[in-house]
Structure formats: C-alpha cells, structure tokens
Structure 1
Amino acid sequence: LCCCVPAVSLLCLLPAAALARWACVRACPASCSCTQEKSCSVLCDRSAMAELPKEFPCEASAINLDKNRLKFLSERAFGTLPSLKSLSLDHNNISFITPGAFKGLANLVELKMAHNEYISYLHTRTFTGLKKLVRLDLSDCNLFSIPDRIFIEQTALKELLCFQNNFRRIPGAIRGMENLTHIYLERNKIEAVAYNSLLGLGSLRYLNLQENRINVIHDQAFQDLVRLENFYLNDNLLSDLPRLAFKGLVRLKMLNLGGNQLTNVSRTWFSDLVELEVLYLDRNQLLYIEEGTFENLTSLITLHLNSNNLTTLPFPVFQPVYFLGRLYLFRNPWECDCSLEWLKEWMESYRLVRDIPCASPSSVAGLDLGEVVFAKVNGTCVDPGELNLTTASSEVASTTENRFNSLISKLLQQELREEMGNGTESLRNGTLLDPQEGQLSGGAGGPPAGPSLCRLALFWMVWALLGQPDRLLRLLCT
C-alpha cells in the first residue's frame, strides 16, 4: 500500500500498527465486525450466514464463524490467509467438507468444528495443508469413525477433542502421534480398549474415556502412556481389570474408576502408581479390597470409596493411612464391629473422615461409627450385640395391652361414679361394667345410655391403637 504515489501518499505517514488496523477494517466482510487490538480478529458469529464471505482480511489472525447456518465447505474455502492462527466453526449445519477445504491456512494452530450434528464423515484429506495444527475440536458431531491416516500431516497436534460422538472404538488415527498430550473421547460408545489402541502416545498427559460402554481392557493396553497424569475411566461397564492394568504409569496423579461394576480391588492394580494423589473407586459394587492394595500409594491424598457394598475395612488392607488428607466412605452398609474400631480411633485422631453410618449390628444400626461405644472385657474389644427384636416387641405389646385394659376400666368406673352423682334417674338408666368380662352392658328397663360421647370416643380411640404398641407405649409414658 505504501508506494508513495500521490493517491496513497498519506498512508506512508501512518504508524505500522495504524496501517494494519486500517487494512483489517478495510477488507472486513459486510456481515462481520473486525477489530485490531494485538492482531486482526474477524467476528462473524450469529450472523445467520448460509455461505462463507467471498474474502477475509489478509491480515486476519482469528476468524469466528460460530452459530451460523453454514452447510458446505468447498476446496480452499477461506482463500489464502497466511496470518490465520485460529478458526472457529462451532454450532453450524456443516454436513460436508471438501478435501483441501483448509488449504491456504498454512499457519493455522487451532481449528474448532464442535456441535455440527450433520458431520458424520471425514475424508482422509480433510485437513490437508494444516501442518502446524496444535488443537482440533470435533466434539458433539455425528462421527462414527475417522480414517486411520487422516492426521498424517498433523505431526504437531497436541490436543484432540472428539467427545460426544458415536465411536465404538478408539480411533486408530491417533496411534503413534507422539506429540499428543490431551485426548478427549468421553461420551462416545467405545466398548473396549485393545492392546494396540494407544500405542506410541508417549507424550500423553490427559486421557478421558468416561461415559462410554467399555467392558474390556486388554492386558498392557496402557503400556506406552508413561507420562500420563490424569486418567478418566469412570462411568463405564468394567467388572474387572487386567492384573497389571496400570503397570508403568509412574507419573499418574489422578485415576477415576468410579461408576463401574467392580466387585473387588486387586493389590496388583496400583503397584506402580507411586505418584498417585487422587483415586476414585466410588459408585461401584465393591465387596472386597485385597490386603496391600494401597501399600505403594505413598503420595495418595484423597481416596473415594463411597457408594459401594463394603461392610468392613480391616487395617492391614488400608495401609498406609497416614498420607491421606481426605477419605470418603459414606453410603456403604458398614458392619460396625471391632474390626472397625481402628477406623473410629483414626477418625477421632485426624478428623479427616466422617459420615460412616452403621448398617449392623442392629444395636448400633443408624448410628455413625463415631457414635459407637465399643465395650472392653479385660482390655479386649467386644462386638456390639444383635437385638432380639421379635421377643422385645411381643413383650412390649403384651405389657401395653394390659396397661390399657386397666386404663379403660378406670375411665369407665370414673364415668359411672359421675353418673350416679347426678341422681336417681341417671342411676336407673346408667351403664354398668361387668368387671370380669370388661364389657359394656345396658341396664334393665331400657336402651343403654352409656358414657358421654367424648369418653366413648376416647374409648374407641384407645381400643383402635391397641394394635400399635409402639405408639401406645409413647402415649403411656406421657
């Protein structure tokens, strides 16, 4: 532009930043807005576009085309934009991408195409020319698979987001991508992790496979993930794991196995996880944890064992406890006998765990473990006993019924005395009580007059409650 010819001579006097700003705004598409702060950004989101603009500013470093009605990307759809670093096409109606659609974007670093529900197919050459791509987002589309060689040019790719699609297996295209650090594959339909699914991913630090249908993990499936730090396997269908499932994951800091169908925990699973800080085993069906399971977890800070079927947790299973900062044990049917006395003492000493409701024995059912008092005989703990609830209930019912029979008799006798005090006429027509039968009978010479309506109602209320001894006992005590 700055050629110093008369028509543009004034541009030669502008600072470089002002000149770039002018150039960015000058070529801005009609339905977009362009800003020049640190670099030229083109904002075309929410513009109801059905087709791409014919041209974009050559200086554009970021283009936002989110939430439009774009359906088709032709070859070299964006022309040549050597400065473009970020391109966002989220929330459109894209159904077909012509091979080579992104040619001319040689320096593109981030490409976002999430939430395009009509994208069900990608050609092997879809991303041709994007040799510097670092982050690719294909989340919430309708992809069932992607070609194995689709990322042949994307050797710099570090983050791949493909969650909420329809993959039934881990895409083979990621195999051997040694620069990948983050993979998001949650909420797909993946059924298994094969021994070769994750080969060659030596730089991977984050792997999310949660909310799939994984029920099988092959032995040594994670052997190449030597730098993995965060691993999500929760909310799948796992009922068992290979004996050395996580062997070699020496840098793992967080492992989530919650929401599966595991019934036991093997001591071999976590033997290499010396840097693990957070472990989720919640929402499984755990009945048994093998002794020594946690002995190598010397960096463990938080352990989630809540919402399982655990009844006991012997101390040898649980070592080492002194590293923990948080322990979650609620929603388990705990049997609060002497095998948990150590846990109660640990709770009181460190105050790092609470909410351990007892399910048995019946004498402490409903109490929190912290409220249970363990008896001692010659210094030895004695388990809380079981209550004989059937015998106790019978005795309470029998005693209560006798007491209420007595109460009814007293009420009626008091009524009789009051009626007699009212005169001869009341005595002639009064109600008599047969003391042996405990029944009411009308006096001779006319229909029974009976006690007052208020007391008659009381009588029937008491009689009706005789079938509920617990309520009667509470009434008697008051």
Structure 2
Amino acid sequence: MTALAFAVCVLCLLPQAALTRWACARACPASCSCTQERSCSVLCDRSGLAELPKEFPCEASAINLDKNRLKFLSERAFGTLPSLKSLSLDHNNISFITPGAFKGLSNLVELKMAHNEYISYLHTRTFTGLKKLLRLDLSDCNLFNIPDRIFIEQTALKELLCFQNNFRRIPGAVRGMENLTHIYLERNKMEAVAYNSLLGLGSLRYLNLQENRINVIHEQSFQDLVRLENFYLNDNLLSDLPRFAFKGLIRLKMLNLGGNQLTNVSKTWFGDLVELEVLYLDRNQLLCIEEGTFENLTSLISLHLNSNNLTSLPLPVFQPVYFLGRLYLFKNPWECDCSLKWLKQWMDSYKLVRDIPCASPSSVAGLDLSQVVFPSANGTCVNPAELNLTTASSDTASTTENRFHSLLSKLLQQELRDEMGNGTESRRNGTLQEAEDGQLSAGVRGQRAQTDQTLLCFMVPWLVLGWIRSELVSCPSCT
C-alpha cells in the first residue's frame, strides 16, 4: 500500500469533527490563526493586511478581518466558501467594492463593513449572490445614499445598520422589505420623513431615527409599521407632529420624543398606543399638555416630562395614569399652587415621583413640592402666596397699631413730665408775693393745664397722622 493510500485510509477512519479541525488548520492563511470549536473560525484581525489572503479554509464558517489596511475588494474576492456564515471587515480603508465581490458566499448570514470611512458609494450589484443575508452593517462609513434596488436579492434581510453616515433621507432601498425587523439610521443628516419612506415594512419592530435633523414628518408616514415596538425620534428638530402621527401603532412599547422643540402635546398623538410602556417627552420646550393626552395609555409604566417649561400639571391632564411606575418631572419651573395639591398627595401616597422644585410663588420658591403645605379655609385650598399675603397684612397691621400706641404713650408721658417740672420749678422759685396770691396763681395754673390738655388733644392726632404719612412714604410695600 502506498503512503498516499494509507493516508487516505487514515483520514477516512477519523471522526468528522476531527477531520474538520484538520482541514481548517491545514488551509489557514499564514498571517491568520484558525480555531475549531463547533466550527472553523479564521481570525485575521489586527494583522496589518493590505490585501486579502489568496485562500481561506473551505470549511470556514466565520472570518474576521477587522482593523487591517484593506482598500479594495475584487470580484469573487473570497472565492467559494459554502460554509461561511459571518464575515467581518470593520475598521479598514476600503474605498471600492467591485460588483460581485461576495459571489461564492451563498450561505452568508452576517456581513459587517462598519467604520470604513472611505466607502461613499455602493453599486446596485454590490451584494449579488447574498440571498440568505440576514444582517448587514454599514455604520460609520461615508455613504450619502444607496441605490434603490441594491437589496433586490436580499429579501430575507432582517437587520440593517446604517447609522452615522450622510443620508439626507431614508434610503428608498428599504421600501417593501417585508422581513426587515430592525433599522438603525441614527446620527445621519435626514431632515424629513416622507409619507412613502417606510411603506411595506410590516414586520419592522425597531426603528431608530435619533440625532438627525428631522423637522418635518408627513401625515401617515408610519401607517405600515403595525408591528413596531421601539421607536426613537429623539434629538431632532421637531416643533410639531401630524395630528395622528402614530395612528395604528398598536404594538408600540417605547416612544422617545425627547430632545426636540415641541411646545405642546396633543391628545390625538397617542390615541392608539394602548401597549405603550415608556414615553419620553423630556428636553423639549413644553408649555402645556392637552387634557386627555394620556387617557388611552393604559399600559404606561414610565413617563418622562423633565427638562421642559411646564409650570402646572392639572389633574384632568394627568388622568387616569395612576398606575405609573415612575414619573419624571424635575427641571421644570413649577408653580406650586393649589393646582398641584393632588400631585403632592400622589407623591406622598405612592413614593413614585420626587424632585419637583418650586419656582413660584416666591413664598415657596426653592422648596420641593413635597415640602409645601396647602392649608384649607372653609374647605377650600389656600395657595401659599395668598396665605403669605394674609399673614403679612396681619403682621403689618399689628405692628402699626403697636407703634401708634407707643408714640401716643410717649407723648402723654412727655406732657406729664412737663407739668411736673413746671410745678417743681414754681415751688423752688416761689416768693412771698406768690404765696399771698396763691389762690390767684392756682386758678391761673388750672387754666394753663386745661389749655395744655386742649392743645394736646389737637396736637396728638396731627402728630400721629404725620408719623403714619412718613411711615407710608418710607415703606412703599405697605401702600
């Protein structure tokens, strides 16, 4: 038996797993390492490659070429690899991909080409042959658009990641892709969502449009997204929304509208969102929320209204969301009057909300709503401002009265001292003549005392009125 025949017989006797391991290691490129656990993985990342290896193991199920210096992918760049499921080309210098570059990878499920800053253009036939592709990552490239028919063969595609590019609109290539479940388009330069941008996406569950420049959303733009569950529209330039913007999104569980320029919230926006659990309206410029806005949100658990311009949240606006797990209201200029008494009671009872600093009235400014006391008068709530004004008025009246009595007392005491001084001086300087004329002098003194008392009766009111006038002039807040 020849040596070759013997080797073949030995290989035939090996278990299939061992045979696969042997084949994977035998054909591993020189600059890469190959590992065999459940399947053959070829690791060529961080290898300084400027060109692709000439061949890969036929049994390879995953190839990692991240963080190299690859610039160009020619037609059939990887040969024929029927077992390949995952191919990663992240963080390279790829600038051109020849149409048909991925032919021969008929079972490829995941293709990653993120962080290739020189990819600015894709040909319509770039992904020819990838009929089983489920996940495509083109994030952080330099794409301005992609051809409308680029995914004509990728009917099975479920996840498309194109965030941090230069798209000015939602790529028309996604329209009608019935199997797409996730679209990532955040951090692009899109300014509008057209009525036909998302047509035919009946399986979509996740849509991320955050951190764009969207300022216009057309009516019925989301009408086909009947299975959408997570929707990010935050950090755009929206100042208003269509009247029935989210009509039909009955499975939506999370909606993020934070970081826009909304000034009011319409009750028509959320009418169909019966399964919504989390709603972000934070970091807008909200001044008011229409009554009935939250009345259909029977599944709502978390509501974010922080960092707006809200001063009040009347109970009719808020009803009937009493089963909230968390309510965020901080960073608003709250006016802590009787319209928020219900909120304080809710805070005290359920402990599900905190940090509601009062901006007004001045009597409670700086306090948290939880510290504000709302007294009642005849069964009616008294605002802190009114209570403070009543107390201040009483204190002012009491102080004025006390000072009036004090002045009057001083005047009378001064008059009494003057009379006593006059009597003492008369006794000290009295003469025999005065003694002889005592009866006459007593009459004169009596007449003088009566005159002084009469003058005092006239002078005191004028003195007091003058004092009050001077007090009012010196204290404008008392007028």
For normalisation by structure 2, the TM-score amounts to 0.80
**Which residue number corresponds to residue 68 of structure 2?**
68
CA–CA distance in structure 2, aligned partners of residues 18 and 345 of structure 1: 71
What 5-or-longer segments of structure 1 have no aligned partner? 396-478
**Which residue number corresponds to residue 154 of structure 2?**
154
CA–CA distance in structure 2, aligned partners of residues 281 and 334 of structure 1: 17
CA–CA distance in structure 2, aligned partners of residues 200 and 4 of structure 1: 59
CA–CA distance in structure 2, aligned partners of residues 199 and 52 of structure 1: 39
What amino acid does structure 1 have at the position aligned with 2:115? H
Q: Is the 8 A contact 1:252 1:273 kept in 2?
A: yes
CA–CA distance in structure 2, aligned partners of residues 369 and 295 of structure 1: 25
Structure 1 residue 318 displacement after superposition: 0.3
Q: Is the 8 A contact 2:297 2:321 kept in 1?
A: no
Alignment of 1:221-236 (within 5 A): 221-236=221-236
Alignment of 1:349-368 (within 5 A): 349-368=349-368
Instruction: Compare 43-52 and 373-382 and name the one that shifted more.
Output: 373-382
Q: Is the 8 A contact 2:130 2:153 kept in 1?
A: yes
CA–CA distance in structure 2, aligned partners of residues 18 and 375 of structure 1: 83
What amino acid does structure 2 have at the position aligned with 1:158? K
Note the alpha carbon deviations across 1:178-226, whole angstroms, 9 max, x for none. Answer: 0000000000001000000000000000000000000000000000000
CA–CA distance in structure 1, aligned partners of residues 110 and 321 of structure 2: 45
CA–CA distance in structure 2, aligned partners of residues 207 and 334 of structure 1: 34
What amino acid does structure 1 have at the position aligned with 2:169? R
CA–CA distance in structure 1, aligned partners of residues 201 and 209 of structure 2: 15
Is it true that 1:188 corresponds to 2:202 in the alignment? Answer: no
CA–CA distance in structure 2, aligned partners of residues 271 and 349 of structure 1: 29
Structure 1 residue 7 displacement after superposition: 4.1
Is it true that 1:343 corresponds to 2:343 in the alignment? Answer: yes
What amino acid does structure 2 have at the position aligned with 1:194? A
Structure 1 residue 4 displacement after superposition: 7.8
Note the alpha carbon deviations across 1:45-78, whole angstroms, 9 max, x for none. Answer: 0000000000000000000000000000000000
Structure 1 residue 375 displacement after superposition: 1.8
What 5-or-longer segments of structure 2 have no aligned partner? 397-479
Instruction: Compare 317-326 and 117-126 and name the one that shifted more.
Output: 317-326
Aligned-partner SS, 1:63: strand
CA–CA distance in structure 1, aligned partners of residues 113 and 198 of structure 2: 24
CA–CA distance in structure 2, aligned partners of residues 22 and 128 of structure 1: 32
What amino acid does structure 1 have at the position aligned with 2:197? S
Is it true that 1:170 corresponds to 2:170 in the alignment? Answer: yes
Aligned-partner SS, 1:385: helix
Note the alpha carbon deviations across 1:441-476, whole angstroms, 9 max, x for none. Answer: xxxxxxxxxxxxxxxxxxxxxxxxxxxxxxxxxxxx
What amino acid does structure 1 have at the position aligned with 2:266? S
Aligned-partner SS, 1:5: helix
| Segments of 4+ moved more than 4 angstroms | none
**Which residue number corresponds to residue 110 of structure 1?**
110
Is it true that 1:134 corresponds to 2:126 in the alignment? Answer: no
CA–CA distance in structure 2, aligned partners of residues 165 and 216 of structure 1: 20
Q: Is the 8 A contact 1:196 1:221 kept in 2?
A: yes
Q: Is the 8 A contact 2:298 2:321 kept in 1?
A: no
What amino acid does structure 1 have at the position aligned with 2:373? V
State, as a whole percentage, how many aligned pairs show the same letter: 89
**Which residue number corresponds to residue 316 of structure 1?**
316
**Which residue number corresponds to residue 34 of structure 2?**
34
CA–CA distance in structure 2, aligned partners of residues 65 and 284 of structure 1: 43
Note the alpha carbon deviations across 1:309-347, whole angstroms, 9 max, x for none. Answer: 000000000011222000000000000000000000000
Aligned-partner SS, 1:69: coil
Note the alpha carbon deviations across 1:291-320, whole angstroms, 9 max, x for none. Answer: 000000000000000000000000000011
CA–CA distance in structure 2, aligned partners of residues 297 and 321 of structure 1: 7
CA–CA distance in structure 1, aligned partners of residues 294 and 51 of structure 2: 58
Structure 1 residue 148 displacement after superposition: 0.3
Note the alpha carbon deviations across 1:140-168, whole angstroms, 9 max, x for none. Answer: 00000000000000000000000000000
Q: Is the 8 A contact 1:4 1:12 kept in 2?
A: no
CA–CA distance in structure 1, aligned partners of residues 134 and 321 of structure 2: 42
**Which residue number corresponds to residue 14 of structure 2?**
14
Number of residue-to-residue matches in the alignment: 389
Is it true that 1:199 corresponds to 2:199 in the alignment? Answer: yes
Aligned-partner SS, 2:129: coil
CA–CA distance in structure 2, aligned partners of residues 8 and 317 of structure 1: 81
Structure 1 residue 10 displacement after superposition: 2.1
Larger radius of gyration: 2
**Which residue number corresponds to residue 249 of structure 2?**
249
Greater share of residues in helix: 2
CA–CA distance in structure 2, aligned partners of residues 278 and 149 of structure 1: 36
What amino acid does structure 2 have at the position aligned with 1:328? Y
CA–CA distance in structure 1, aligned partners of residues 13 and 337 of structure 2: 88
Q: Is the 8 A contact 2:117 2:142 kept in 1?
A: yes
Structure 1 residue 81 displacement after superposition: 0.2
Is it true that 1:208 corresponds to 2:208 in the alignment? Answer: yes
Aligned-partner SS, 1:77: coil
What amino acid does structure 2 have at the position aligned with 1:45? D
Note the alpha carbon deviations across 1:3-50, whole angstroms, 9 max, x for none. Answer: 982343322221111111000000000000001110000000000000
Note the alpha carbon deviations across 1:259-294, whole angstroms, 9 max, x for none. Answer: 000000000000000000000000000001000000
Q: Is the 8 A contact 2:300 2:321 kept in 1?
A: no
Q: Is the 8 A contact 2:134 2:157 kept in 1?
A: yes
Alignment of 1:321-470 (within 5 A): 321-385=321-385
What amino acid does structure 1 have at the position aligned with 2:92? N
CA–CA distance in structure 1, aligned partners of residues 323 and 126 of structure 2: 50
Aligned-partner SS, 2:247: coil
Aligned-partner SS, 1:30: coil
CA–CA distance in structure 1, aligned partners of residues 204 and 152 of structure 2: 18
CA RMSD of aligned residues (A): 1.5
Aligned-partner SS, 2:18: helix
**Which residue number corresponds to residue 272 of structure 1?**
272
What amino acid does structure 1 have at the position aligned with 2:216? V
CA–CA distance in structure 2, aligned partners of residues 222 and 240 of structure 1: 16
Q: Is the 8 A contact 1:170 1:197 kept in 2?
A: yes
Q: Is the 8 A contact 1:359 1:366 kept in 2?
A: yes
Structure 1 residue 354 displacement after superposition: 0.4
